Chains A and B, each alone.
Chain A
Amino acid sequence: MHAAHRDQLVGSLLLIFGAIWTAVVYLTVPAGFGDGIGPRAFPLGLGVLLVILSAMLLISGFRKNRANADMPEDSEEIDAAMTRIDLRMVGSVFVVIMVYGFLMEKVGFVIATLLIVTSTLWLVLGIRRPLVIGAMAVGLTGGCWLVFGKLLGAYLPPGTWISLF
């Protein structure tokens, strides 16, 4: 993806976000009363500011596009594009964190960590060495449980379905 196209895409997305934000703030937050400004002014002003700045980014994208029309794309810019691997990893890490949160609540920190480390190594990274997976899962879970739970006395989620510790 060329830098100009990236600026256009990012500028457009942020512009839409800024516009929606401004509209939601205007419709849902009361303006306030008395001297000074109320609770609406700051988020509203910031939304408008984001719209203006995104529009500037969008315009600079169009300008760059016109200026670079005859020039070949340089390799650095192509590298900057999101590859399929990047997107897959973004999705994977997102799912891992969400499932980790869910499991922490349902089966507690210890089982959740064991499951998450094992499945991340096996499913996300494709590692098939039982020794590495076992050592990482037991080491990380045991280490965290010992240091955070026992040594520092931090509260580790016990789990509503099963509670081991």
Chain B
Amino acid sequence: MRTQNPIKLRPLLATLRAEVLTDHVPEEITGGYCSDLLSDVLAHAEPGVLWLTVQVHRNVVSVAAMKDVAAVLLTCGRKPDSASLAEADEAGIALLTTPLSTYEAAGKLWEAGL
């Protein structure tokens, strides 16, 4: 899913109850994608989107970087280990976490106009 008009990510963080885990966070996102199957993300995610997943394996960082997604929102309160976090920082991929489920978080993003 990709919208024509990118929207600012920062103002959404409070609504999403999201915490930024990495050093950097992108200005904008162009859409969202929800999937926990990495090959599905490899096949279908568009660059610049916010990827919502419960997966915290380091492969998430690899796939996110390959697909140039803007940031990954880890749902249901999941957090990556420190090694994955360091790899994300190195690759310039922003990792965020939220206590909301993927369904709830996607709903909030939809309401926000994404």
Do chains A and B stick together as partners?
no
Which residue numbers of A lie inside 8 Å of B, CB to CB?
none
Which residue numbers of B lie inside 8 Å of A, CB to CB?
none
